[in-house]
Amino acid sequence: MSLLIFLDQADGHIKKSSLEALSYGSKVAELMNTSAEAVVLGNVTDDLAALGNYGVKKIHTIKNDSLNHLDAQVYTKLVAEVAKSVGATVIIFSNNFSGKAIAPRLSVRLKAGLVSGAVALPDLSNGFVVKKNVFSGKAFANVSINTDIKIIALNPNSYSITTTSNTAEVAEFGATVDTPKIQVTATDKPEGEIPLSEAELVVSGGRGLKGPQNWALVTDLAKALGAATACSRPVADEGWRPHHEHVGQTGLAIAPNLYIAIGISGAIQHLAGVNRSKVIVVINKDPEAPFFKAADYGIVGDAFEVVPKITEAVKKLKGL
Ligand SMILES: Cc1cc2nc3c(=O)[nH]c(=O)nc-3n(C[C@H](O)[C@H](O)[C@H](O)COP(=O)(O)OP(=O)(O)OC[C@H]3O[C@@H](n4cnc5c(N)ncnc54)[C@H](O)[C@@H]3O)c2cc1C
């Protein structure tokens, strides 16, 4: 019996959401009195042995150029092979793009119960009960997994990373890698931007900013804070900002430590993508804007007056 954690990598680096999954999985293994092992696919340049700091004992690697990009079917088959080989009874993913693609497929392949969107450690006092977000983060459900093999996909930014000072054993796992059915021929990445899905600080703009010509308001504050930028859906639909910045029910769901919403009304479809943020700051000239009900801090005022003052204050504080 063991516990297996899937590690997600991009450009050879382990993603922050996977470090959360590592800390979470290692704690679950401790509660189950078993050991935590992990699997990573593709060529990774990070020091994998150092990931022992997050509590994992052994890391299985399958190095192969064709695994540098996610192919859900190929990945699922390999993770299943590793899981069977180590006798994993619990498998942990981050509930990010890769986790959402692989975990359900793995669940079918291993006939394993899956809870996606987990937000807390499982309760093992009476079976195996996992707390998860439901209704776009408006409520929680406690779900009991009753299968022999259990899969949990942990919501990003819902479990704190903890470190110790251990070293993990790293071992190449011998497996036949199928030829992926899809091939990534080129990737086009926005240069120098902080990836929104991994960002701890996010500054977001809505239709209240009137047009793309005013976006320096958002980007200047984001730059001063070291934050990623986001926007509401109409802003992306109107082409003021790229679609990969659109957050909400039909866009990205994010959970940063700080979400600053400028000139966004706070429609439920928008809140569905941001209401797991740890702290929400709303800047809106309408005191009745629904977003204020979800805000930790609110400023009623004209964004064109308020935001430059905040940016200046941040720059002064940081000596920029
Ligand atoms: C099926 C469906 C799915 C959807 N999915 C999404 C989604 O994923 N994400 C999303 O964002 N929306 C989504 N929407 C749209 C959503 O319902 C809202 O229409 C949208 O979020 C509104 O965007 P907004 O707040 O930027 O614009 P508006 O509703 O126009 O609000 C602009 C806000 O700016 C404020 N404002 C104006 N001028 C200033 C100023 N000078 N200073 C400060 N504040 C100012 C106004 O008071 C107002 O509150 C969806 C809708 C549907 C039907």
Structure confidence at residue 18 (pLDDT)? 95
Q: Measuring from each residue's beta carbon to the nearest atom of ligand 1, which residues come in under 6 Å?
A: 206-208, 232-235, 248-251, 263-265, 267, 269-270, 273, 283-286, 289, 302-304
262, 269, 280, best to mutate for ligand 1 pocket (most atoms within 8 Å of CB): 269
Position 1 scores a pLDDT of: 81
Pocket probe mutation, ligand 1, options 252, 254, 285, 288, max atoms within 8 Å of Cβ: 285
CA of 266 relative to ligand 1 center, distance in Å? 6
75 Cα: distance to centroid of ligand 1 (angstroms)? 38
* Strand segments (E) across 69-200: 88-94, 113-118, 129-134, 139-144, 150-154, 169-172
HEC-encoded secondary structure of 12-34: CEECHHHHHHHHHHHHHHHHHCC
The rounded Å distance from CA 293 to ligand 1 centre is 15
Nearest CA to ligand 1 atom 36: 208
Residue 245, classed as helix, strand or coil, is: helix
Collapse the DSSP code of 10 into the 3-class scheme (helix H, G, I; strand E, B; otherwise coil) and give the result: strand
pLDDT (0 to 100) of residue 192: 62
| Residues 22/57, Cβ–Cβ less than 8 Å | no
10-residue mean pLDDT profile of the chain (320 residues): values are 94 93 97 97 96 96 93 97 98 96 98 97 97 88 98 93 93 93 80 80 98 97 96 98 94 94 97 94 98 98 98 95
Rg of the chain over CA atoms, in angstroms? 21
CB 267, CB 239: distance < 8 Å: no
pTM here is 0.85
pLDDT score at 320: 85
What's residue 185's pLDDT?
A: 85
- CA angle 23/194/254 to nearest 5° reads 60
pLDDT of residue 191: 64
pLDDT at 40: 98
